[in-house]
Amino acid sequence: MVRFLNMSSTIGRIALFCQIGALLCVLTPFGYTASRRDVHRELTKLLSLSPFKDMNVGIKVTSLETNDILFDYHGDLLLKPASNVKLVTTLAALKYLGADYEFKTKVYTDGTIQKGVLQGNLYVKGFGDPEFVSEELWYLVNDLKRNGFQTITGNLVLDDSFFDTVRTVQNGSNHEGERAYDAPLGALSVNFNTTAIYVRPNTKVGLKARVIVDPTNSYIKVINKAKTDSATKSLSLVVTRIEGKNQDTIMVTGGIPINYPEKRYYRNITNPLLYAATLFRRFMKEQGLSIQGKNQFGVVPEKAQEILVHTSKPLRWIVSDLNKISNNFIAEQMLKTMAAELNKSPGTTDKGIDILGNFLKEVGVKTPYQLVNGSGLSPQNKMSAAQLVDVLKYGYQYFEIFPEYMASMGIVGVDGTVEKRLQGTIAQGKVRVKTGSLTGVSSLSGYLSTVKNELLAFSILVNDSQDRVGDMQGLQDKILLTLCGLEN
C-alpha cells in the first residue's frame, strides 16, 4: 500500500484518502481514455494534492510523433536525477562505441614454449570489461590451455593501465563501504569486484551456521561466528567485509533459524588486481596449468607477444544489463572505457564527463546542468526533466541505436527495477523506463505507448526532503496511468 502523508488529525487523513481515492477511480480502470485536455487537467489536479505539492517536482511529457508538449510542470527545474544519469551514459556509449562494441581481455607472453613449458612471464591486460565474471574467466583459461603449455616458469603479471588508478566512484553518495553497489573500479576486474556469501543453518540448534563464499578463493578469509538458532527466533545475521593488506575478511555473526532458507549476501572486495590474480590461479590450476612465479602488477612490455584475446558480449546486451538492474559498476566502467577509447588511455572519470558534455551539446541540451559521474550515484548530479526528455528524443531519432536503447530499459510490471510496479493495470508492458533513487530522490524517465499507440517521451523527477518513497513512487505511477489512457 502506498503511504501518502503522515497527518496529525484523523479527519485530515480521511479527507486526503477521499481526494486520492476519487482521483484513482478516474485514472485506473482498464477502459479509461482521455483527451490531451483531460490529461493536463487531471495531472494538474493530482499535483495540487498533499503531499505532492510539498515536493520538488519536475515533469516533461512530449509526443514523439507530433512533437507536441503534452505536459510541462517545472520541466526546467534542476533536480537530482539519481540513476537517470545512466540514460545519458548508455546512449552516449551506444553512439560513440557502437552497439557491436566488445570489451577485450588480452593475454601476452615475453617467453617461448618448449616441451609444454612457457619459459617466461604471462601477462593479462584488462580493457574495462564490466562483466568479466567467473564463467568468462573459465573460458579464457580454457582457451589459453590450447596454446600448448602446462607450466609457466615466470610470473603472472596483471595490467590494468587502460584506466587510471582511482578506484572509487567520483563524488559517490550513499557509500556504505562494503556494499556491492559501491564496488571499486578497475580496467581488469572480475565478478564486478564483489563476492557472494551464502549462509544456511546447520543440522542442529547451537551449531555454527554454514558459510560458503562464491567463488571459492584464497583472497577471501572467512571468520564464522554465526550460530544456528531455534525456529522461534528471528534472523539476526550480520555479514561484514573487513579490509586487509593482502586479503579481505568476511566476518559473519548473529544467528539463522534452523528452518530458515539459505540467505545470500553480496560484498565488494578492496583489491581488484589481487582478487583477479587469485581467481586466475584457481582456474588455471583446475585446467592443469601451473605458474611457478609470483603475482606482479605492471604494464605489458612492448616486446611481449599477444597470444590470446577474450571478448565480451556486445555492448547492446551489456547496456541492457546496466539499465534494467541499474548497475553502477557497469556504468562507471563504461564511462572510463569511452574516455580511454575516445581520448586515449588511461581512461578517467573526468575525461568521461567531458565526453558526456560534448554528447549533450550535440543532443541540444543547454547548460546549466551538472554531471560528476556516469552512474548517478551522487546528489551533486543535477539535470532537469526537460533535458532528459531531450536525450530520450535524440535516442528515438537514431534507428541505429534506438531499438537497443529502448530495449535496455525496464518494462513496467514485467522486469527490471519496475517488475512489480503497476502489474495488472493499463500501464503493464506499455512503458519502458529507467528508475533512479537516492535518499530523498525518486526519478522515472523513458518511453510510453498510449492506448492509441502514440509513443511519448517523459521524465518525472521528484526530490523530497522528507524522503517519502511511497509517495514519490505513487505520484509517478498515477502519472503513468493517466498518460497510458491518452486517446487523442
The single-letter code of the amino acid at 276 is A
Marked catalytic residue, from 60, 80, 83, 312: 83
Marked catalytic residue, from 60, 80, 86, 382: 86
| Active-site residue flag, 345 | no
- Give kind and range of the element (H or E) at residue 235: none
The single-letter code of the amino acid at 387 is Q
Q: Residue 272: name the closest of 332, 328, 190, 214 by CA.
A: 190
| Active-site residue flag, 459 | no
- Give pairs for 463-466: CB < 8 Å, separation 24+: 463/55, 463/56, 463/57, 463/79, 463/80, 464/51, 464/54, 464/55, 464/56, 464/440, 465/440, 466/51, 466/54, 466/440
Q: Which residues contact 346 (CB under 8 A, 6 or more apart)?
A: 161, 162, 163, 164, 187, 340
E-only strand ranges, 30-170: 56-63, 69-73, 104-109, 112-114, 117-119, 122-126, 151-152, 156-159
- Please give the torsion angle defined by the CA atoms of residues 284, 290, 293 and 295, in that order, rounded to the nearest 10 degrees: 10
| Active-site residue flag, 35 | no
CA–CA gap between residue 82 and residue 112 (Å, rounded): 51
Q: Take residue 310 and report the three cell numbers written for it.
A: 577474450
Marked catalytic residue, from 189, 326, 378, 459: 326
52 half-sphere exposure, CB direction, 13 A CA radius:
24
List active site positions. Answer: 83, 86, 326
